């Protein structure tokens, strides 16, 4: 039974740390695309939404997705998908794409907003840090309580 009180918080911590890695990675990718100075005209190929939730009394969350295509300065066609773009961008619209060149091209159609991106990244990391600290505190407290109970029972 003790394993449950270590496995569940450990799993939650692992998921929170993985999410933190993904948030930092995406933030660095966006920053490199904005700071590279490379732009291209791209075209919105597709716009669609995904929904989750809505069972029982839960709210429905809708996420807007865009699929863009552009050509790099050296002639390579690149297609990428991005979440959270403006709802006014529809299929066929021409957009400015910011990208960082390399073997793995990183691109975004979001307008540069370094301050907002940094604030969002810090906010998410603080929240995930609180989750990790809570789980670690829970495991430490449980260990201390269970060792105290073992001492009281003569183990």
For 42-77, what is each residue's pLDDT tens digit?
A: 999 999 999 988 777 788 889 999 999 999 999 999
User: In Å, how far are 11, 22, 137 from 143, measured between CA atoms?
Assistant: 17, 31, 10
For residues 11-15, average pLDDT: 97
β-strands 77-83, 38-53: how paired? Answer: unpaired
For residues 94-121, average pLDDT: 94
Cα angle 100, 101, 105 (rounded to 5 degrees) comes to: 80
Q: Where are the beta strands (DSSP E) in the chain?
A: 38-53, 60-71, 77-83, 94-100, 106-108
pLDDT band at 9 (very low <50, low <70, confident <90, very high): very high
Question: pLDDT at position 102, please?
Answer: 85
pLDDT band at 153 (very low <50, low <70, confident <90, very high): low
Question: pLDDT at position 56, please?
Answer: 78
Q: Give the separation between CA 87 and CA 93, rounded to whole angstroms.
A: 12
Q: What is the mean pLDDT of the chain?
A: 91
């Amino acid at each position: 039974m003790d394993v449950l009180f270590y496995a569940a918080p450990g799993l939650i911590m692992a998921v929170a740390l993985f999410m933190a890695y993904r948030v930092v990675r995406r933030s660095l990718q966006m920053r490199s695309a904005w700071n590279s100075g490379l732009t291209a005209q791209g075209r919105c190929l597709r716009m669609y939404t995904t929904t989750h939730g809505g069972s029982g009394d839960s709210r429905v969350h809708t996420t807007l997705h865009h699929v863009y295509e552009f050509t790099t300065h050296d002639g390579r066609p690149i297609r990428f998908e991005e979440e959270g773009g403006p709802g006014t961008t529809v299929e066929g619209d021409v957009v400015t794409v910011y990208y960082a060149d390399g073997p793995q091209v990183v691109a975004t159609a979001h307008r540069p907003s370094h301050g907002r991106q940094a604030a969002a990244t810090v906010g998410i990391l603080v929240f995930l840090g609180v989750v990790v600290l809570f789980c670690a505190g829970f495991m430490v407290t449980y260990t201390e309580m269970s060792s105290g109970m073992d001492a009281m029972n003569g183990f």
